[in-house]
Amino acid sequence: MGKYQLGEFEEVVLLTVGVLYGNAYGVSIKKEMEARLDRKVSVGALQSALKRLEDKGHIVAKYGETTTERRGRPKRYFSITSHGKKAIEETRAVRNKLYGDIPKVAFDVKIV
Amino acid sequence: MLKLFDMNNPPKLPLRFFRWFCHPDLLPGIEGDLLELFDESTIHHGSRKAKWKFTWDVLKLFRPSIIRPAGGTHRMNYYGLWKHHFKMARRQLFRNKAFSLISILGLGFGFAAFFVILQYVSYELSFDRFHENKNEIYRVICFPGDQPVSAGNYKGLVEHIKSNFPEVKKATQLVKYWSMDGRAVRIGKQIFYEQNVLHVSSSFFEVFPTLLKSGDPAQVLSGENSAVITEALARKYFDNENPIGQTIDFGYMGKYIISGISIDIPDNAHFKADIFVIDIPTQRNAWKIVNGIGYYSYITLDKTVSVPTLEAKLIQSIQNLKAEFPHLADDSFKLQSITDIHLHSDLTRELGSNKKGSTIYFLVVIGFLILFMAWFNYINLSTSIFFSRVHEMSIRKVIGSGKSNLISQLFSEYSYVLILAAILAILLIVTLSPFLVKAGIIPDTNQVYRYDIFRAGIFLLVVGSLLIGLYPGLLLSKFKSYSVPRGNFTRTKFGVILRSILMVFQFMASFCLIVGVVILMKQLNHIRSADRKMDVENVIAVNNPIGITDLDIRPPIKLKNYLNFKTKMVAHSAIENLTTSSDLPGSPVNVSVANLLKVDRTAPDDLRPFNIMYIDDDFFDVYKIPLLAGRSYSSNIQQDLNRGSIILSRSAIEHLGFKSPRDAINKKIHSAAEDGYHWYNYEIVGVFDNYLHTSTKTKGNPTIMLLNRKTDDIYINQYFSFTINSADQRKGAIDHLVKTWEAVWPDRDLEFYFVDELYDQQFQNEKILSSSFIFFAVIAIIISGLGLLGVTVYEIRLRTKEISIRKVMGSSTASLVRLISRKYIGLLGISIFIATPICIWLSNIWLDGYLDRIELTPLLFVPAVVLMLTIVLVSSGTSIYKAANSNPTENLRDE
């Protein structure tokens, strides 16, 4: 796991970028996350997480064409790299392994 | 599209802020996001809320991963770049050896000179500032009519002030009985000689509490015979014993009990003291100055008291005494702040050797001149070598160096120069300071005086030097790289004009300093070589074996001892004559009296002080002072021996109203005895010319010479002086003196002086000033010479091709030298034209401080003009000559 360290927020962002395949840019990621996780996401937090993921090589950014809808500003589209994909897979594998190793008894609800 | 028109715009300031800090790579995308969200929330929540939300989002974006890196766009650290800069700087330093050397030398000399002046000035300005209540202490001085002003004055003044002016907090007076080699003091069985014994009144340490180390200022001198000594003296006298309660024996002056210890008086105090003894002044002769001994009056005032008002009140209240003491009618009084005494008080009988404030301010100006010269030198040099760097810089620019990159690169080059210059300056200061201390230019101490001034000076030095380093970088980074191929960069008007102005400034400063040196030396020579109407060459003076101070504890020598000594001395072939006197030429006359001498007893008192010297028969012969009329004293004439005769100076008889020296001979004059009832009557037997007892710096008083011989038993004249035939006989005469002395007074130490050297000591201040002026002038000349050399070297490198082409076309070397050096000679001409009035103005200010000053003539400026011209021709001429003599094919080949 050491190679692909992901924070919780970073992981969610990375997954969302994957979910929105082809249409992942700032506002769409924000909205998707807010809708799915039912929590507020600030532009600052999101952008800095995206910057970090980008620096780590999990995602790449590419400017889209200029349109009128954003007062002429281009969208910055993100997509997952193969490196990012490995990171998601490994994180998931680690989670699953951890989950699988929990003894059944631990989930029994005890009323004391 | 209609929607666009009623679009709500986001708040401007947060948007601008965002654009400023955001990383350029992210900017368009995030800005788009922000705007999209903004427009959306305008629709949902209204414009006000949307604006708030927008601002809040911007603020939350202000975090490290979003903010653009400082300086550049890609990386946060520049270690590699700095490393590169320093490596380039080192190479640059060695590549342009001449430039580096000249810059380092110029800056190093400039820093050293500035530092030395700073240290000296901070010492001179620190005088008497160690008193904690320095702003409250004033000295009261008196201007009695048109007489020369003495720093000391009436004994009664302090008592008068105390009883009439409640606003004066404390008042004290001190008096010093003058003598050259101190008083004899007996401690137990040992005898010491102390130079600095001050007689002070009981409230002395209340006015100067800082001086007292242990004891209560109000109580310490309350006893009838209390004394306070300094720490150092206590250690010398009593080692580790407790000095309090010990006895000091002053012989006939009485015994004193030590009741307190004072601090060692710092060097920067206007009076020196080792022992303070209580002096309870009697009110006898309170308003007369007896035997020339003045009382120095000090008071403390609250800051709220207005000094001019107090002065006016004091003058008025002294005026009220004039019915009883008519001579006070013309007196006026002033208060001097204690911190002004050292630099702004030039009275007679000052307690220390005061300096002229103007001298110190001149030095400050010189210090700044030299520092600015050094800085300008660097600017000049670095702008003049632009041409050799311009290609390098344009390539750097084209590759992508920003302005700040270029500046930091040039600055790192400068930092090498700066560090080496600082090292040079430290080396210079360390090696030169022993000589400078010896010449009196810097104080002999490691202490820093006036930290405020010192710190300000160093701050200026450091900040100025750093700013200077930025300048070439700023200039170089501003040029347009496309102008380089066109070759017109180095000829920008601005650069040429700036360089000319800086060079004119340097020439002016050097010129002024050289003129200053010439005028100083001329003036010093002038006052030294003034017609003294006497001769001190080859005169040697010997101290009386029992000096005035020894009289307190030993009986004086007898007349027959003296005659025995004299007979043996003049037996030597080289020794012409021997005489005795109470004072020696070159040091002030110890005794002077006022208002005692009258032609008509009933005439009102006369205020003019007369110097009194005691001499014997041969005084006028030994010192070759011309007698204008009458005769000298003779031991064979009874009237002389009975003090019935008097010999006066020409100024004295003129003052007394005689028409001519001859007219005064055989006339009677009278002098009141100290009690005011008896009269001494004299017949004038001789008149001598006004010889210069001391230099023309101080105004001389009319002088009376009295025969020193009260009875046959005692012989107390302080000095025996004799003349030697010629200078090469000196050694023989001194050997003879030593032998004779051992025969007559084997148990006493022989102390002798060469009177011409003693006389020369009066010019110590001028000598120090001229040696420091020479020192700084040399530094200034070195700096400006180096600067000019550097500038011409690069100017010529720039014009090598032009020179070669001219040569090919047939120019001679001489005409080329003329062509190029013409510009610098023109600049020199302008500098001299501007500097001359400044020099005249400043020298007049300084010369006006002398009673006997030289007049400024054009001749005084000639050496400076010649010297400057030589420097310009040599330093520019050599490199021009070299260029003009080189083979033109070498220079034109690469075309």
- Predicted pLDDT at A2: 57
Question: Model confidence at B635, in pLDDT bands (50, 70, 90)?
Answer: confident
Is A56 in the B-facing interface, judged by CB distances under 8 Å?
no
Average pLDDT over residues B494-515: 85
Is B60's CB within 8 Å of A43's CB?
Answer: yes
Q: Are strands B226-230 and B275-278 parallel, antiparallel or unpaired?
A: antiparallel
Q: Which residues of A touch B60 (CB under 8 A)?
A: 42-45
Give me the residues paired with residue B139 across strands.
B298, B336
Name which of B777, B782, B859, B868 is nearest B825 in CA terms.
Answer: B868
Question: Model confidence at B172, in pLDDT bands (50, 70, 90)?
Answer: very high
Contact yes or no for B620/B721 (Cβ under 8 A): no
- Predicted pLDDT at B834: 94
CA distance B883 to B850: 51
User: pLDDT tens-digit profile of B28-39?
Assistant: 888 888 888 888
CB atoms within 10 A of CB B463: 10
CA distance B444 to B283: 43
Name which of B76, B870, B834, B115 is nearest B506 in CA terms.
Answer: B834
- Predicted pLDDT at A1: 47
Average pLDDT over residues B220-233: 90
Mutation site, B23, B52, B65, B66, interface A, largest A CB count within 10 A: B65
Task: Name residues whose C-beta falls within 8 Å of residue B183's C-beta, 6 or more positions apart in sequence.
Answer: B177, B193, B194, B197, B250, B253, B549, B552
Q: Which residues of A touch B31 (CB under 8 A)?
A: 73
Is B74 in the A-facing interface, judged by CB distances under 8 Å?
no
Question: Model confidence at B2, in pLDDT bands (50, 70, 90)?
Answer: very low
Average pLDDT over residues A1-8: 71
- Predicted pLDDT at B289: 63
Residue identified by tokens 């101290």 is B543
Q: Which residues of A touch B53 (CB under 8 A)?
A: none
| pLDDT at residue B840 greater than cutoff 90 | yes
Is A40 in the B-facing interface, judged by CB distances under 8 Å?
no
Nearest CA in chain B to A44: B61
DSSP structural state of residue B557: B
> Worst-scoring range by mean pLDDT, B221-230, B394-403, B600-609?
B600-609
Pick B54 or B294 by higher pLDDT.
Answer: B54
- Predicted pLDDT at A3: 64
Is A61 in the B-facing interface, judged by CB distances under 8 Å?
yes
Q: Which residues of A touch B65 (CB under 8 A)?
A: 47-48, 51-52, 55
| pLDDT at residue B490 greater than cutoff 60 | no
- Predicted pLDDT at B702: 83
User: pLDDT tens-digit profile of B636-671?
Assistant: 888 888 878 889 898 888 888 888 888 889 888 887
Mean pLDDT of chain B: 83
Average pLDDT over residues A32-38: 90
CA distance B387 to B489: 8
| pLDDT at residue B472 greater than cutoff 60 | yes
Pick B184 or B232 by higher pLDDT.
Answer: B232
For chains A and B, count residue pairs whose Cβ atoms are closer than 8 Å: 74
- Predicted pLDDT at B550: 63
Q: Which residues of A touch B37 (CB under 8 A)?
A: 27, 30, 43
CA distance B204 to A41: 81
Q: Which residues of B touch A30 (CB under 8 A)?
A: 33, 37
Average pLDDT over residues B59-85: 74
CA distance B58 to B707: 104
- Predicted pLDDT at B780: 86
Report helix, strand or coil for B633: coil
Q: Which residues of B touch A9 (CB under 8 A)?
A: none
- Predicted pLDDT at B178: 56
Is B35's CB within 8 Å of A71's CB?
Answer: yes
| pLDDT at residue B866 greater than cutoff 90 | yes
Pick B2 or B91 by higher pLDDT.
Answer: B91
| pLDDT at residue B180 greater than cutoff 70 | no
Average pLDDT over residues A73-91: 90
Is B33's CB within 8 Å of A26's CB?
Answer: yes
Question: Model confidence at B258, in pLDDT bands (50, 70, 90)?
Answer: very high
Name which of B107, B745, B78, B117 is nearest B433 in CA terms.
Answer: B117
Pick B859 or B393 by higher pLDDT.
Answer: B859
- Considering only CB atoms, B32 lies closest to which of A42, A55, A70, namely A70
Contact yes or no for B146/B183 (Cβ under 8 A): no
The Cα of A62 is separated from the nearest Cα of chain B by a number of Å equal to 10
Pick B494 or A13 by higher pLDDT.
Answer: A13
- CA distances, B385 to each of B103, B125, B475, B824, B878 (Å): 12, 42, 12, 17, 18
Average pLDDT over residues B276-304: 78
Q: Which segments of B799-812 does DSSP mark as H helices, in order?
A: 800-808
- Predicted pLDDT at B5: 44
Give me the residues paired with residue B227 across strands.
B258, B277
User: pLDDT tens-digit profile of B536-562?
Assistant: 888 988 888 876 656 666 777 888 888
| pLDDT at residue B794 greater than cutoff 70 | yes
| pLDDT at residue A41 greater than cutoff 70 | yes
Percent of chain A residues past pLDDT 90, beyond the cut: 29
Domain ranges, ordered by start, for chain B: 2-61, 152-344, 357-528+763-892, 539-758
Percent of chain B residues past pLDDT 90, beyond the cut: 15
> Worst-scoring range by mean pLDDT, B198-212, B392-406, B544-558, B659-673?
B544-558
* Rg of chain A in Å (alpha carbons): 17
Average pLDDT over residues B390-419: 83
Question: Model confidence at A110, in pLDDT bands (50, 70, 90)?
Answer: low
The Cα of B59 is separated from the nearest Cα of chain A by a number of Å equal to 8
Nearest CA in chain B to A50: B65
- Considering only CB atoms, B31 lies closest to which of A45, A63, A73, namely A73
Is A43's CB within 8 Å of B30's CB?
Answer: yes
Q: Which residues of B touch A73 (CB under 8 A)?
A: 28-29, 31-32, 35
Question: Model confidence at B71, in pLDDT bands (50, 70, 90)?
Answer: low
Average pLDDT over residues B401-416: 84
- Predicted pLDDT at B261: 92
CA distance B629 to B254: 46
Burial of B235 (0-12, 13-18, 19+ CB in 10 A): middle
Domains and CATH numbers, chain A: 8-107 (1.10.10.10)
